[in-house]
Amino acid sequence: MKIAIYSRGGESVHVQDLNILLQALLEQKCSSYLYEPYFMQVKDSIQAASVYAVFNSSEDLDDSFDCMISLGGDGTLLDTVTLIRDKNIPVLGINFGRLGFLASLGKEDLHSAVTALVERTFVAEKRTLIHLEADIPLFGDTPYALNEFAIHKRDTSPMIKIHTYLNGEFLNTYWSDGLIVSTPTGSTGYSLSCNGPVVFPDSSNFVITPVAPHNLNVRPIVVPDNNIISFEVEGRLDQFICALDSRREIVDKHIQLAVKKEQFTISLVRLNENNFLQTLRKKLAWGFDTRN
């Protein structure tokens, strides 16, 4: 079995936990390939570092890889989406961050996760991506996101007007600080913090959520993901922020943007005993009463 391991590194991912993972993979006769910038951070602390190969970019990955393991939080897992692209390599997230909706397994699950990979007792859930189109090139060769697309005003500038259309038909003008279009996966992220609804991962929808809308009767709306959602932006400043997950670009307000469902999907690995409802209850503390 051929496994890629990605991490941003930093203090949250302890080297002793990485060594536990690498040793477990070695015992199962798995070939491990570490993301080179991360490997350079930790190579002096890895046992038998010369055993491991490295990869550096999407071009180094192909369909011979059985899985990519993401070590970190949800932001780290989102990074892997730009590496995997349409190669259909499943992603297993080990949470070394805080909340961890996507990277839902804890570091205490390292051994059980490796066992599930080797014995192929895991579930690979296909997740929808959102694709951005614009009349100028944006975000290079990765114009897509797993969580959300967002338009946002710059810094302390006044609110902006975002004229929004579904398949060319006018939906609404949002007077707000910004607008989020999230996938079902992203409904528990930025959209949720702006009072958007939680949507099941397989619901085939997009959620349009305004950020700090000026009109209080404006609320999030759920639309089928076979819609093309397009935008025209007005504001006192000439530029605004356009974001795909954690990646951002400054865009001229005259640029026209549209989003739609991406042609390919990303597969997220979960163990059989974990599911979306359990993740919701655990991460959002549903059903828990601190008074008891």
Domains of the chain: 2-127+265-284 (3.40.50.10330), 130-261 (2.60.200.30)
- pLDDT at position 283: 74
Q: Inter-axis angle of helices 15-27 and 110-119, to 10 degrees? A: 30
Count Cα atoms within 13 angstroms, Cβ side, for 138.
Answer: 25
pLDDT at residue number 97 = 67
* 51 CB neighbour count, 10 Å cutoff: 11
**pLDDT under 70 in the chain at which residues?**
11-13, 97, 99, 273, 292
* Model pLDDT, residue 99: 67
Does 86 participate in catalysis according to the annotation?
no
How far is the C-alpha of 153 from the C-alpha of 103, rounded, in Å? 30
Q: What pLDDT is stored for residue 273 in this prediction?
A: 64
Residue 277's H or E segment, with its range, is helix 276-284
Q: What is the pLDDT of residue 199?
A: 95
Q: What pLDDT score was predicted for residue 9?
A: 80
Q: Which residue of the set 17, 62, 74, 135 is catalytic?
A: 74
Each as own residue / partner, the long-range contacts of residues 285-288 (CB below 8 Å, 24 or more positions apart, any chain) are: none
pLDDT, position 109:
85
> What DSSP designation does 43 have?
G
CA nearest to 266, candidates 200, 151, 185: 185
d(CA 46, CA 42): 6
The pLDDT value recorded for residue 5 is 96
CA 269 distance to own-chain centroid: 13
